[in-house]
Amino acid sequence: MKTMSAREAKNGFGLMIDTARAAPVLIEKHGRGVVVVVSVEEYERLSLAANVARGSKRAGEASKSGE
């Protein structure tokens, strides 16, 4: 994962966007990670995976309550 300071991200916003389209970019402030910038495609993939995981957990809870 590429890492940039908040200042680098601000001053090179276009570069940060281009970089994030290929792989997540960790933005640091005072040496600590504060946000991760990801492409829309990666965000959608992660959102779908989270929704599937939540659905599986709910299905498991429903089957236990039906026993």
Assign 65 a pLDDT band (cuts: 50, 70, 90): low
Residue 11 in this model has a pLDDT that exceeds 70: yes
Strands (E), the chain: 2-5, 25-29, 32-37
CATH number of the domain at 53, please. Answer: 3.40.1620.10
Residue 67 confidence (pLDDT)? 53
Domain span including residue 51: 2-65
Residue 66 in this model has a pLDDT that exceeds 80: no
Q: State how many domains the chain has.
A: 1
DSSP symbol at 66? T
- Of residues 48 and 54, more confidently modeled: 48
DSSP symbol at 23? S
Asked if 16 contacts 37 with a C-beta cutoff of 8 angstroms, the reply is: yes
- pTM of the predicted protein model: 0.76
Q: Which tens digit of pLDDT belongs to each residue from 24-45? A: 999 999 999 999 999 999 999 9
How far apart (Å, rounded) are the C-alpha atoms in residues 28 and 10? Answer: 12
